[in-house]
Every structure is written in structure tokens, then in C-alpha cells.
Amino acid sequence: MDTSDTSTTETTAAATSADESGRNANRSTTPGSEGFKDFISNGWAARDEALPSAREQASFAAARRSAVSAAFPGIRLVIPAGDMKQRANDTDYPYRAHSAFAHLTGWGSDSEPGAVLVLEPEGGEGHVATVYFRERAGRDSEEFYANPAIGEFWIGARPSLEHVSADLAIGTRGLDEFDAVVGRVDTSTLVLREADAAITERIDHARIRFAAEEALSTNAQDAPFSLEFGGDHEPDADLARVLSELRLVKDAFELGEMRAAVDATKRGFTEVFEELPRITSEVRGERVIEGVFATRARLDGNDVGYGSIAAAGPHATILHWTRNDGPVVPGDLVLLDAGVEMDSYYTADITRTFPVNGTFSDVQRQVYEAVLEAADAAFAVVRPGAIFREVHAAAMAVIARRTAEWGFLPVSAEESLQPENQFHRRYMVHGTSHHLGLDVHDCAQARREMYMDGVLEAGMVFTIEPGLYFQPDDLTVPAEFRGIGVRIEDDIVVTADGAENLSAGIPRTVAEVEAWVQGAQRA
């Protein structure tokens, strides 16, 4: 990608934005004459300034902010969206706002890089919420045409403060006014540390400065002064924990988005099957699988929710195989672990394992049905009041029993299940479930007693994904098992009286999967 004329020597300082300083200055060719500036600043049609109605998720985001406000009365909270991340020189990765920011604002794939949500305590209880972001520049500014990072000539139309305020039903201010927030910072102010390193550093410095000035004002000059923030600073960690635990139970909007993500993911899987003739003809057929699914993700949503695992043959025994550069050979299995992320950032996380030629071999079927049995056993225990780790235990009981029956364990299934043994885990070293939502591994900073040892509640969404993986060089299993990897992963929501498999409509049984693959080939 290169839209410059490197033979031109005319340069201007305005062509390089502050956040790209040093990355592109020596190849800038933006005209700098006054005549050009005057010409490009005029002759534009009036913008459509009609304000939108608040988006559907705005009321849900407001309720989430109220819950956070109640958890931190009288404390200023700073939740950045995060800025662009450099990929190479003057190119950046596609932007994605921090999930906590998206959760509390309702701003997803259309959010502005560098935005910051501030919850400012007001008199008594409660907070005033304001989103600070860099508003679009007028067409009479050099930013409009000369700033490749945020200029509308380069990246397209950007929203006004008024537009975002109406869209999100939240107060907005220009990012330059965030300086005033930093000026009000005291030692109680909290920041979501992981979201934006530069903003975190500013808040840290402001807190230290405030503490030093407070010490001086109380005539404590002779007392030793030391105050540090960073790493495991406990109050900031409390904020991250609360924001993470707030997402454990999904609201109606979130559940609707996750259903849509699952539906889109099913379409992506079907389109992969339709392309199997091309996939098997390419040397790196796994890459074709990845590309076909990614196309559906971009058509129906924002992107893939995580790096797709398109693992064929022995690659299916590698838990996080994302290189996806191997061949896809008839007679082998393909383990496809992929999910569509919606524009709201909510993602599905589905795994299906299927035979390339549409028919499982006897050994492949044997392994697949054991994994399916484990998945069904785990699902059977899901209900309000159950403990999250019981889901994993139910799946492991089946994995231990089946691998013991096949003669793969040095002890009985019962002995293997003892905490001091766990021999069956050689063939399934990962966990069975994780929470799912804005992040594929959602709520990761929740306390253990709220997560692994937590009590299931209606509205929780998580995966059930047992598997069996027999490495190609594993001498503890017969040769015919080596190189077979199977995982079946579904997205589950806890209901008032049990559970619902959101991905139940995506074929799961041997017969269903074979018919699915074969049917897609005939289509």
C-alpha cells in the first residue's frame, strides 16, 4: 500500500501527525502552499448533521455504568478505549477498543481510537459519565487532508461530539479537555491500567503529584514520602476485577448479539465445506479454510473473534494451531475452531471436527463419539446453583473412563481421576469451559470464587469444549490413534431452570456432521 509520490520533494510538517512522528516524515509529499490549502478547504457540500436516535445498547450500557458507580462511590474512574497499535512503521493493526470500554459505552467497531470514558463522582452518590475523544477536524484544517492517522481524506468520515453523544446517550467532550480531568486526579482516582499505557502513566504521575502536594500542605515535609503505582496496585486491580465480574451475567442485548454471532459462525462453517474441493487442491489448504471463514466474519460482523484454528490431520492435536499452513488431505479430520465477532464485539467460539471426505473412519468415529459423550455429560450438569468447575469434572469423568477402557491409562479411571494422578489429562490437558462474551476468554480478571468456584446463574454464557488429542509420536496409544485430534465446542447459556446450547443448531453427532459435509458438497 503506497499512495505517495516519493519523487516529490515538497514537504510540510503538517503532513505528519504527532502520534506518527518520526515514522513517515522523510517521505511526506503533502503540498504545503497557501494556494493549495485555500483550494482544498473550500468547495465542499454541507454535511448531514442530523443526529441519530440512541442505539439499542445505550440503555444497557447505562445500567452497567450505574452498577460500576455503586461499587466505587465518590471515586473518579478512568476507563480508556486504548489507542492504535503499530504493526509496521506507519501502518497499524485494525483498531479494537478495550472490551471494558465497549461494555460501559456501547461503542463497538465504530469507536474512536484514543477515547476515554471518565466516571466523575458528583455530590452525594453517583457519577457523571463522559466520553472524551478526538473530534473530527473541520475541512478548513490541515488535519483534514494532511494527517494520515485521523484525517478524513485518509480514513473517511469521523463523528462529531454531538453525534456520538446522541448515539450513545452519554456526555461527550473533546480529548483536549481530558487534561482537566488529569488535573483533578487525586490518590483515590482509579484507572483501568491495561487499556492504555500512556494514559495510565499520566494518571500515575498525577496521583503521585497530588500525594506529594498533600503531604507538603499538612506540614509533613520532614516525614519520608513514598508512593508508587503500577503492576499490582491494589485499588486499580479492584477496578479491573469489578469490570470483569460485571460481565459474568449477560443482559438481553448481549444474549441477542451472541445468538447472532453463533448464527453467522454456522454460515461460515458451511461455506468452508462448500469450498472443500479447492481446499484439498491447495498446498496450504488450511489457509483457504481460514480465509473462507474470515470472509464470512467480515460480511456478517466486525472480524473473527480470535485467530481461527484450521487444523487438519496431525495439526489437530496441537491445541492452539494458528499457523494454518498445512495441507488438507481426504481421509483426515479437520478441527476448525472459529467464531464470528459482531460489530458490538460479542463473539461466538465454536469448534467442529469433521472428516474431509465426508465419512469418519472407525477409529475417528470412536474418538469423536467419546468426545461428544463428554460434552453431553458436561451440559447435563449445567443449571442455576451448580458450581462452574462441576462442568469440567463431568467431562473429565467420561474422558478418564473411555481412555481407561481403551487401555491407554496405567490405572483405572477412578484412580486416574484422583487429584494426585490425572493420567487421562495427557490426552486433554486443557480445561472444558471458559466464560464467553466481549472477549473470547471473557471475565478473565474475576476472582476464582466468582469464576472457577463460582455458582452458576441464569444469563451466564460459557463454552463446553472437551477433546481428545493423540500426538503423532505418542507411544502410549496404538498407531491407528496417533495423529487424531477431536474437539467439540458449543456455546452455552444458563437459563432460569437449566441451560440452552446456543450452538445446538450446528451439527454435532457423527451422522449430522457427515450429512452436513456431504450436503454442502452436493449444493
pLDDT in tens, 98-147: 999 999 999 999 999 999 999 999 977 799 999 999 988 888 888 888 88
Helix axes 510-522, 252-274, angle to 10 degrees: 60
> Is 469 strand, coil or helix?
strand
The per-residue pLDDT of the chain, averaged, comes to: 92
If phi > 0 it is left, if psi is from -120 to 50 it is alpha, else beta; for residue 282 that is beta
Quick one: pLDDT band at residue 3, thresholds 50, 70, 90? Answer: very low
| Mean per-residue pLDDT, 290-303 | 98
Look at residue 98 in the predicted model and tell me its pLDDT: 98
| Mean per-residue pLDDT, 65-78 | 96
pLDDT in tens, 430-443: 999 999 999 999 99
Distance CA 193, CA 236 (A): 7
Q: At CB < 8 A and 24+ separation, what contacts does 227-236 make?
A: 227/187, 229/203, 229/204, 230/193, 230/204, 233/193, 235/188, 235/190, 236/190, 236/191, 236/192, 236/193
- What pTM was estimated for this model as a whole? 0.92
Q: Where is average pLDDT lowest: 46-60, 396-410, 416-430?
A: 46-60
pLDDT in tens, 9-34: 233 333 334 445 456 666 667 888 99
Question: For the chain, which domains are there?
Answer: 58-140+159-245 (3.40.350.10), 252-522 (3.90.230.10)
Instruction: Give start and end residues of each alpha helix (H) in 246-328.
Output: 252-274, 276-281, 285-300
pLDDT in tens, 138-172: 888 888 888 888 888 888 888 999 999 999 999 99
CA nearest to 434, candidates 417, 454, 458:
454
pLDDT in tens, 356-390: 999 999 999 999 999 999 999 999 999 999 999 99
3-state secondary structure 192-258: CCCCCHHHHHHHHHHHHHHHHHHHHHCCCCCCCCCCCCCCCCHHHHHHHHHHHHCCCCCCHHHHHHH
pLDDT at position 460 over 70: yes
CA nearest to 349, candidates 462, 272, 432:
462
pLDDT in tens, 466-496: 999 999 999 999 999 999 999 999 999 999 9
Residues 6+ apart with CB under 8 A from 313: 326, 327, 328, 329, 332, 333, 483
Are residues 216 and 225 in contact, defined by beta-carbon separation less than 8 angstroms? no
* DSSP type of residue 471: -
